[in-house]
Amino acid sequence: MMSLPMPAEDPRHLPNRAVIDPSAITENARAVRSMLGEHTALMAVVKADGYGHGMLDAARAALEGGATWLGVAHPASALALCNAGVDAPILTWLWEPHSARTLLPEVINAGIDVSVGSSAMLTQVSEAARTAGRRARVHLKIDTGMGRGGVLASSIDRTGRALEADDMVSLVGAWTHLASADDPDDPFTDRQVELFDGAVERLAEHVGPVPLQHLANSAAALSRPDLHRDIVRCGIALYGYPPVPGDCALRPAMTLRSSLAMVKPVAAGQTIGYGHIRTLEEPTTLGLVPIGYADGLHRAAGDKASVLVRTASGDVRAPQLGRISMDQIVVDLGTDTAAEPGDEVIVFGDASGAPTAQDWAGAVGTIPYEVLTSVSARVPRDVRA
């Protein structure tokens, strides 16, 4: 039997909020859109609940900013978008036999495009299309080096023949995913592009020209105009984090907020947190913030990150001290502080002087994608009007 999580607490009474600013997503989409030629469409990638921002809000905001496609991993997410009345072409690319049996007929019926990355997947889509009584619109995924899903370039002829013989599918697209577009010096991207182009050319010998070709993620959208092709699939840039340096103005769409629970002056020698990894050398004032790893902070960032505290006498950047606990962190407010319980704390986000998800990622050796998608279900999302 399947069980669904039941919130233990009324979200209205929880101390933390992920404040989502849909206008940031709209403006980011507009900024990315302005870098694309008129024949390139912008697909907003809203998988993983819109990178933690809320899938539907993210999708609507990106469409308002000029995105004309939506991309999600799971077919269930694609259906949720359709059922919410979102009227844009959608591509779903990650499914297994169970989802294929239970969801793909409905997905195909709804006119959602489906990615196929193996012969077995082609058979499953074809069966689902037969059940739906409607041809499936398929994008063929070509594995050019990610080694995840996708037909290897070396077996493209076999796939081409199978597609040619299958009257339940229409091949509308061919795509691949770049492994290191965020490192412009890595020649691997060009090797992938070469493999992709060769495979698409051979595919065309079986099925004719493939209408939609796409391979660019945010990094390639921002730094490789030569790879824009028919669609760019952008996620992280729309949420405000450019994976490559450049002058596309983007701003974070999520601000993670908390507030001070307690303020406490302490003497030199005070130890802090589990494992007492931090001992203070000077007296200071500690601030207790009721947010921890159960809310999505990375425990490994302990003692290496900071927050912004908004006190009556101004904003202060307060280093986080010691290990991060499940529900709380301790920050250093300094000796001369006006901070009081109830003062707003910005853990990361869109505020002058505040740390970003990139800063928190840097503290742990991860990427802002993981920081954003880690903000847990315990943190209510407040969507700005």
177 or 323: CB nearest ligand PLP: 177
# binding residues, ligand PLP (CB under 6 A): 12
Q: Which is nearer to ligand PLP, 18 or 236 (CB)?
A: 236
Q: CA–CA separation, 99 vs 93, rounded Å?
A: 12
| Residue 304 bears catalytic tag | no
Of the candidates 44, 195, 234, 346, which one interacts with ligand PLP according to CB under 6 A? Answer: 234
3-state secondary structure of 243: coil
Residues 287 and 270: their CA atoms lie apart, in Å, by 14
Establish if 240 lies at the interface with ligand PLP (CB under 6 A).
no
Enumerate the β-bridge partners of residue 70.
44, 90
18 or 216: CB nearest ligand PLP: 216
- Whose Cβ is closer to ligand PLP: residue 171's or residue 333's? 171
Per CB under 6 A, the segment of 6-14, 121-129, 234-242, 338-346 that binds ligand PLP is 234-242
Residue from 59, 121, 125, 236 binding ligand PLP (CB under 6 A): 236
**47 or 378: whose CB is closer to ligand PLP?**
47
Q: Using CB under 6 A, which of 65, 145, 160, 243 touches ligand PLP? A: 243
**What CA–CA distance (Å, rounded) separates 106 from 83?**
11
Give, as ranges, the residues between 30 and 89 that touch ligand PLP (CB under 6 A).
45
Is 207 a binding residue for ligand PLP by CB under 6 A? The answer is: no
- Within 168-187, the residues that bind ligand PLP by CB under 6 A are 177
Burial 360-376 (b: 16+ CB within 10 A, else e): bbbbbebbbbebbbbbe
274 in active site: yes
In the block, which residue shows the tokens 């704390």? 345
The residue from 51, 241, 264, 274 that is catalytic is 274
- Closest approach of ligand PLP to the CB of residue 51, in Å: 7
Binding mask 303-342 for ligand PLP (x = CB under 6 A): ----------------------------------------
Of the residues 33, 53, 233, 278, which one makes contact with ligand PLP according to CB under 6 A: 233
- Minimum distance of ligand PLP from residue 349's CB (angstroms): 18
Active-site choice (47, 141, 239, 369)? 47
CA dihedral 318, 323, 328, 332 (to 10 degrees): -20
Phi and psi torsions of 268, nearest 5°: -55, 145
CB of 329 to ligand PLP, least distance (A): 28
Long-range contacts of 265-274 (CB under 8 A, 24+ apart): 265/335, 271/322, 272/321, 272/322, 272/330, 273/302, 273/321, 273/322, 273/323, 273/324, 273/325, 273/330, 274/322, 274/323, 274/325
117 binds ligand PLP (CB under 6 A): no
Token pair 């280093």 in the structure block, residue? 319
Tell the smallest beta-carbon distance from residue 25 to ligand PLP (Å): 13
Backbone torsion region of residue 49, taken as left when φ is above 0, otherwise alpha when ψ lies between -120 and 50, otherwise beta: left
Q: Which helix (H) or strand (E) holds 116?
A: strand 113-116
Task: Give how far the C-alpha of residue 46 lies from the chain's centroid of Cα atoms, to the nearest Å.
Answer: 7
Segment near ligand PLP (CB under 6 A); pick from 82-90, 156-164, 211-219, 223-231: 211-219
- Specify the amino acid at residue 270: Q
Query: Nearest residue by C-beta to ligand PLP?
Result: 235
Residue 116 lies near ligand PLP (rule: CB under 6 A): no
CA dihedral 234, 239, 243, 248 (to 10 degrees): 90
Cβ-contact 328, 264 below 8 angstroms: no
CB of 43 to ligand PLP, least distance (A): 8
What would you report as the CA-atom Rg of the chain, rounded to the nearest whole angstrom? 24
For binding to ligand PLP (CB under 6 A), which residues are involved?
45, 93, 177, 217-219, 233-237, 243
| Active site positions, annotated | 47, 274
